[in-house]
Amino acid sequence: MAGSPSVSAFDAPDFDERVSARRRKGLVFATMLFIATVFGLVVLVVLLVDVVLKGMTYLDADFLTSYPSRFTERAGIKSALVGSLWMMGLTALFAVPIGVASAVYLEEYASRGWFFRLIQVNIANLAGVPSVLYGILGLALFVRYFALGRSLLAGSFTMALLILPVIIIATQEALRAVPQGLRESAYGVGATRWQVVWSHLLPVAAPGILTGVILSLSRAIGETAPLIMIGALSFVAFLPESVMDSFTVLPIQIFNWTARPQAEFRELAAAGIIVLMVLLFALNLSAILLRNHFEKRRAG
Amino acid sequence: MPDSVNTAETLREEAEAQAHAAPDGLPPERRPAPEDPADKTPTPRPKIEIEDVSFWYGDNKVLKGISMDVAPHQVTAFIGPSGCGKSTLLRCINRMNELIPGTRLEGRILIDGQDIYGDADPVMVRRRIGMVFQKPNPFPKTIYKNVAWGAKINGYKGDLDELVERCLRQAALWDEVKDRLNDHAYGLSGGQQQRLCIARTLAVKPDVVLMDEPASALDPIATAKLEETILELKKHYTIIIVTHNMQQASRISDETAFFYLGELIELNKTDVLFTRPSNPQTEDYITGRFG
């Protein structure tokens, strides 16, 4: 500046700044982003309102405590709701320990060779496999080969396989996010690998693992295709009493009702959808609450 | 990782035997460095012997055949420009580098004459050779648990409360935290956290304490306190400290090693190295002509 007194600090002869044009572009961009956001919301709200309006006629206590029926006024969702809860419980029971254990092995124990990369690529691919393929696998493996029949057990094994890759990937990411300094300081006082994993890595990674687990369970609760493949029934007028009993779940019951020609059954389906959504919402809410709880404990 | 329980047991038994043989009745953690009675020469047997150690990250050779001895009960400072290998060498002494995939070490490191690689169990090695890291990294637990955890997992049979108090006193932190031992460690200041990390290291009764730029994240007041603590600790422990701060090296260390490009350029008494360095490269570095 001292060398060229004719040029002020704001003059930039080498630049064509066009600030107002750039700002206009930015405004257009921001508006598009806003519209995209609102679009998703509007569609969601319209769907919700539609479902709620249709389903409210049938949604009452009787709906939750009755078995399905040919007569719409007596039909209920009891067996499907109980079936879904059983499925979730069993699926989590099988998938969570195996998924978390695999992830801990891959992140903390496995040496980084070709075998590790092979497994890693396969897990990532499995997470993207269409769920109906898991249904075919479940049919061949659990229903036929292990002769579990169309049981809750066969269904939840299949579901567990379906969500396993997601749980593994979520857990691996949660473990990877644990600072290396924490590992080193724990090893530094003479801890074995097991002690480091159990006392430090898993507690710190717990919120991330939980989020992954519950998100994958919410995916499983809405899945229909694999369960149809393994032959879950669509008309069940009893509650499963053991894991070997046949069963149905909410999405199958809903699917079944929507396939009926009468309009009343479609309203029943809408009521079923509301129940399913409330269940999903409860699951996600519990995920958030649990995560906050763990994070607070860590910080406090 | 080759783990041999036998060697680990032998290591522990010998350490215990030495502890019990201590003639002055000091508890094991206060015992002076084990000395051969026949070896009452002015220069005691080295605590740590580094023999021709080379180290690779992948194909990148970062240590090029380093040999040096570290005497017991003194502070040895490692200095040198960034990337000279001083931290890497430090982390080889408690096998911390093994946690990084794709690394390789050649040569031997002996503590009290025993090879810490080969058949030795890295878990045993790391308990005997504690480490304080550059960034204060307490466990996300209470102050009490930070100190007690290491002792607990290593099967400490004594009184944990007493151990926690003693270690916090040794780390000059007791008076500041004695009323809030069950508070979370993250509530402490950076300097306090670093002294907590020292207390945590002392709780497993190491005889060597490695410090990797322990004051680099601290303000001058916290640094002064940390240095006081280090000088106090050298009565009971052999200390190696990596530092970028040459004033710090000259204030607290007895011997200083200067590293450059993966090689040990000069190892000397600290006052000699900083006043009459025998190597021109050392002189260039300490006078600020490069690095």
Q: How many angstroms separate the CA atoms of B178 and B158, rounded?
A: 20
Q: Is the pLDDT of residue A24 over 90?
A: yes
CA distance A223 to A130: 11
Residue B12 has pLDDT above 60, yes or no: no
pLDDT band at A241 (very low <50, low <70, confident <90, very high): confident
**Does residue A294 belong to the interface with chain B, where contact is any CB pair within 8 Å?**
no
pLDDT at residue A211, rounded to an integer: 87
Of residues B33 and A248, more confidently modeled:
A248
Residue % of chain B over a pLDDT of 90? 66
Would you say the ipTM is above 0.90?
no
pLDDT number for residue A175? 95
pTM over 0.95: no
Q: Does B205 touch chain A if contact means CB atoms closer than 8 Å?
A: no
Neighbours of B21 (CB within 10 A): 10
Q: What is the average pLDDT across B187-196?
A: 93
Residues of B with CB below 8 A from A299's CB?
A: 184, 186
State the pLDDT confidence band at B250, using cuts at 50, 70 and 90: very high
> What gap in Å lies between CA A225 and CA A221, rounded to an integer?
11
Nearest-CA distance B196 → chain A (Å): 12
Contacts of B131 in chain A (CB under 8 A): 184-185, 188
| Residues A218, A219, A222, A228, CA torsion sign | negative
A5/B contact by beta carbon, under 8 A: no
Q: What is the mean pLDDT of residues A128-144?
A: 92
Has residue B169 got a pLDDT over 60?
Answer: yes
- B60-69: average pLDDT: 93
Q: What is the pLDDT of residue A7?
A: 55
pLDDT at B53 over 80: yes
Residue A6: what pLDDT? 54
Question: The tokens of B157 are what?
Answer: 């049979």
Assess whether pLDDT exceeds 50 at residue B245.
yes
Residues of chain B positioned with their CB less than 8 A from the CB of A183: 99
pLDDT higher than threshold 80 for residue B165:
yes
Q: How confident is the model at residue B35 (pLDDT cuts 50, 70, 90)?
A: very low
Burial of B129 (C-beta count, 10 Å sphere; 0-12/13-18/19+): buried
Query: How far is it between the farthest Cα atoms of chain A?
Result: 94
Task: Report pLDDT for A8.
Answer: 61
Q: Calculate ∠ Cα B118-B119-B121, nearest 5°.
A: 110
pLDDT reading at B99 higher than 60 = yes
Whether A64 has a pLDDT exceeding 90, the answer reads no
Say which of A111, A188, A195 has its CB closest to residue B96: A188
Angle between helix axes B190-202 and B143-153 (nearest 10 degrees) is 20
Give the one of B124, B184, B197 whose C-beta lies nearest to A300's C-beta: B184
pLDDT in tens, A84-111: 999 999 999 999 999 999 999 999 998 8
pLDDT of residue B85: 92
Does position B39 have pLDDT exceeding 50, yes or no?
no
Q: What is the pLDDT of residue B22?
A: 42
Q: Is the pLDDT of residue A145 over 90?
A: yes
Share of chain A above pLDDT 70, in %: 95
pLDDT the model gives residue B30: 45
User: Residue A183 and residue A241: Cα distance in Å, rounded?
Assistant: 46
Over the range A63-99, which residues count as b (16 or more CB within 10 Å of their CB) and which as e? beebbbeeebeebbbbbbbbbbebbbebbbebbbeeb
pLDDT digits (tens, 9 = 90+) for A40-53: 999 999 999 999 99
Answer yes or no: are the C-beta atoms of A153 and A90 closer than 8 Å.
Answer: yes
Average pLDDT over chain A reads: 88
B145 touches chain A (CB under 8 A): no
Are A299 and B139 in contact (CB < 8 Å)? Answer: no
Q: Which of B153, B184, B208 to mutate to test binding with chain A, by most A CBs within 10 Å of its CB? A: B153
At residue A283 the predicted structure's pLDDT band, cuts being 50, 70 and 90, is: confident
- Does B137 contact A181 at a Cβ distance shorter than 8 Å? yes
Looking at residue B251, its pLDDT comes to 93
> Which carries the bigger pLDDT value, residue A207 or residue B34?
A207
**Mean pLDDT computed over B191-210:** 93
- Is B130 a residue whose pLDDT tops 90? yes
- pLDDT score recorded for residue A140: 92
**How does pLDDT run across B136-162, given as a tens digit for each residue?**
999 999 999 999 999 999 999 999 999
Q: Is the pLDDT of residue A72 over 80?
A: no
pLDDT in tens, A168-214: 999 999 999 999 999 999 999 999 999 999 999 999 999 899 889 98
How far is Cα A161 from Cα A141, in angstroms, rounded to an integer?
A: 12
Q: A180 to chain B, minimum CA–CA distance in Å?
A: 10
pLDDT number for residue B44: 64
- Segment B174-179 shows an average pLDDT of 93
Provide the residue type at A108 as one letter: E
Is B172 an interface residue toward A (CB < 8 Å)?
A: no
Strand B48-57 to strand B129-132: parallel, antiparallel, or no bridges (unpaired)? Answer: unpaired
Residues of B within 8 A of A187 (CB-CB) are 96, 99, 126
Q: Which residue type is seen at A174?
A: A
**For position B21, what pLDDT does the model report?**
44
- By mean pLDDT, which of A193-197, B10-14, B69-73 is the weakest? B10-14
From chain A, the residues in CB contact with B203 under 8 A are: 189
Which among B99, B127, B186 is the nearest to A190, CB-wise?
B127
At residue A76, the pLDDT reads 83
Whether A236 shows a pLDDT value over 80: the answer reads no
For residues B51-76, average pLDDT: 93
Radius of gyration of chain B (CA): 19
Residue with tokens 């269904």: A155
Contacts of A21 (CB under 8 A, 6+ apart): none
